[in-house]
Chain A
Amino acid sequence: MTAAGLARARRVTRTPRASSGSAVGDRRPWGLYIALSLGLLLMIGPFLWMLLGSVKTQHELLASPPTLLPAAPTLDNFSRMFKRLDFAQFFFNSAFIAVVVTLANLVFCSMAGYALAKLHFAGKRGIFGLVVATLMVPGSVTLVPLFVLMSKLGLINSYAAVILPFAAGAFGVFLMRQFIIGLPDELLDAARIDGASEWRIFRSIVIPLVRPALAALGIFQFLASWNNFLWPLVALTDESKYTLPVALATFAIGQHKADYGLLMAGSIALVFPVIAVFLILQRQFTQSIAMTGLKG
C-alpha cells in the first residue's frame, strides 16, 4: 500500500522544487535488496548449514577450517539416527500430542469464544477478565503445582500429562472471541427467528464464517505443541514417551564430544515438518499474527 503511495507521491511531486532532491524510491532500490538479502542469509544460513552438515561425515564435521560442500555426501547420519534412537516412537509421540492438542483447542476455544462474543450470561465478564489476565502469567508460576497435581493424579509420564494443560488455551479463546465478535448480530438473530438452536447456529453459521481464524489457530497450536519443550521435559520421564525435542535435547545437552552428524539429522527431522506446514500456510499464519497484534 505504501509502495503504491510512494508511486503516487512521485507523480505528485514532479514539481521543479521537489524533483531537485532524490526522494525514497526515486531509483530502483538496489541497496535495499542487497541489505535485505544479507539479512536473509543471516536468518536462513544456519538452516542451510545444518542441511549441508547432515550429509557430512563426522570427520568432515570436525574439520578446521570447515568445508562448505560435503566432500563425500552420505546418508549415514540418518540411518544411524534410526538405529541409535527410537526415532519413529519420538516422532509418533510428538505428532500424536500435537494433533490432539490442536483439535481440542479448535473445538473448545471456538465454543468459548462464541459464548464470550455473542451470548449473554452471568460470569461472562469474569471469564474474559481471567483469560486476559492469565496471558501475562509466566509459565514458571504454574510449573510446580502442575507437576504436583499430575503426580497426585498419577499422570506423570502419560500423554494426558502433556495434552490436558494445553487443551484449551487462553490465547485461543481470545483469538476466537476477537473474530466472532465481528460477525453481524443480524445474521445470528435471523437464524434464531427461524428456530435454530444455539448449537446449530454455532456449527452451521459461526464456524464456516471464522474458518480463516480456525486455520490460523490450528497452525499456531500445532507449531506450539510440536515445539513445546519445558513442560514435556518435566512431565515425561520415560524414554518411550519422549517427544522429539525432549529426546534430542536429552541426547544433545551435556555431551562433551557431541555427535554433530546425528544431532544435525535429528534436528532436520524436528524442523522439516514444521517448515513444510509453514511454507504451505504461511500467508494465513503471518496475517493472523498481525491481526491479533493489532487488535490486542
Chain B
Amino acid sequence: MAAATATAERGRARRARPRPRGHLIGWAFSSPFVALFAVFMAIPIVASFLISFTSFNIGNIQSWTSAEFVGLENYTKALSDDRFLKSLRNTAYFVVVGVPGTIVCAIAVAVALNLVVGRMKTVFRVGYYLPVVTSIVAIAVIWRYLLAPDVGLVNSLLEQLGIAGPDWLGNTKTSMPSIIALGIWRNVGFSMVIFLAALQTIDPALYDAAKVDGARGWSLFRFITLPLLRPATLFVGVITSIGYLQVFEEPFVMTKGGPVDSTLTTSMLIYEQGFRFFNLGYASAIAYILFVIIAVLAVLQFRFLRPQS
C-alpha cells in the first residue's frame, strides 16, 4: 500500500482534499477482487459464448485452437432436440408452480410470525430457516428415505389414514410435484426473512386508522399489508425466479432427472452434456439460451411489477 500512503501524504501537503481523487488508490483496493473476478468470472462468461459456436469436445480441453467453428449449429441443434425442449418444459413447470408457491407460503408464515412475540418468535424463525442452511446432499438423504415407497415415513403415515401412497420419486406423475414441494420446503425460510423485515417497516398507525374505519382481519391484510409488501414481493419474486430457472441440485440428488426425464431440468442437461458426454460446445449453447431466458424474465418482472409511483 505504498502508493496509498504516498498519495495521502501529497494530499496532506495540499491541505487534504475532501475526497481523494487518486485513481491508483481505488484500483489498488479493488485489484484483488478485479483480478479474481476477471479470470474466474468475466473471461469464462465470454469464453462460454465463444465456445458455444464451436464443436468443442473433450479432445479440445488441452488444445483449444483445434475446436472447429460451427456457427449457429449448436443453437439450431438445441431447438430441435426433444430432450432440451423437454428440459425447458420441466424447468417452466418448476418455476410456474414453485415461485408462487414459495411466495404464498413465505408471506403466510411471515405474517403469522409477525404476530408472535418473545422467545417463541426466535424458535419459529430459526426452525423455518434451518433447511436454507442445510446441505442439499443431506436433505436428499433424508427426504429420499422419508419418501421411499416401502419403508418411508410419508407413505406409512398415509397408510394410517387408509391411503395407499405412490412411489413419489419413481412415478412420472408425482416426481416433479415432489421435487417442487422439496424446493419450496428448502427455500421458504429465505423469503420469509425478507418478508418479516418488510413487515416491520409498515407503520402501525396505518392499521390503527383502518380499524377506526371499521376494517377487520382479512381486509387489513388485503388492503394494507399486501400492497406495502409489494417491493419485497418483487425482490423475492425476481431472486426466486432466477434461482428456480437454474434448478439443478434438487432433481440431481433426488431423481437424477428421472424417471423417463420427467425431472430433467435445463441446468441438469447442461451438466450432463458438458461433463458426462463432454459436448462442451453444445452445453455452452444451452447455458447461453438459459441465460437469455433468465435475463429477459428478470427485466420483464422489474418492468411490470415495480410499484407505480
Contact = CB atoms under 8 A, between A and B. Distances in A.
Q: Do these two chains interact?
A: yes
Interface of A: 1-6, 8-9, 12-13, 15, 17-18, 21-25, 29, 32-33, 35-36, 39-40, 42-44, 46-47, 49-50, 53, 61-66, 107-109, 111-112, 114-116, 118-124, 127, 130-131, 134, 136-149, 151-152, 164-165, 167-168, 170, 173, 185, 189, 192-193, 195-199, 202, 223, 226-227, 229-230, 234, 244-245, 248-249, 252-254, 258, 260, 263-264, 266-268, 270-271, 274-275, 278-279, 282-283, 286-287, 289-291, 293-294, 296
* Chain B interface residue bracket vs A: 35 or more
A234 B246 contact: no
Contacts of A111: 29-30, 32-33
Contacts of A139: 246
B131 interface: yes
Given A66-B151, A127-B30, A141-B287, A33 B116 contact: yes
Most central of B40, B274, B295 by chain A CB within 10 Å: B40
Given A138-B267, A192-B8, A49 B146 contact: yes
A8 B137 contact: no
Interface string B92-132: 00000000000000000100111111001011111111110
Interface string B283-307: 1100110110011001000000000
B137 A121 contact: no
A136 B134 contact: no
Interface of B: 1, 4-5, 7-9, 11-12, 16-27, 29-30, 32-34, 36-37, 39-45, 47-48, 51, 56, 60-62, 64, 109, 112-117, 120, 122-131, 133-146, 150-153, 156, 159, 185, 189-190, 193-194, 196-205, 207-208, 211-212, 214, 216-217, 220, 232, 235-236, 242, 245-246, 248-249, 253, 256, 267, 270-271, 274-275, 280, 283-284, 287-288, 290-291, 294-295, 298
A122 B127 CA distance: 47
Contacts of A9: 204, 207-208, 211
Q: Which 9 pairs between the two chains have the least Cβ-Cβ distance?
A: A5-B204, A121-B26, A290-B197, A115-B29, A112-B33, A145-B44, A145-B47, A267-B138, A293-B194
B129 A144 contact: no
A62 B151 CA distance: 6
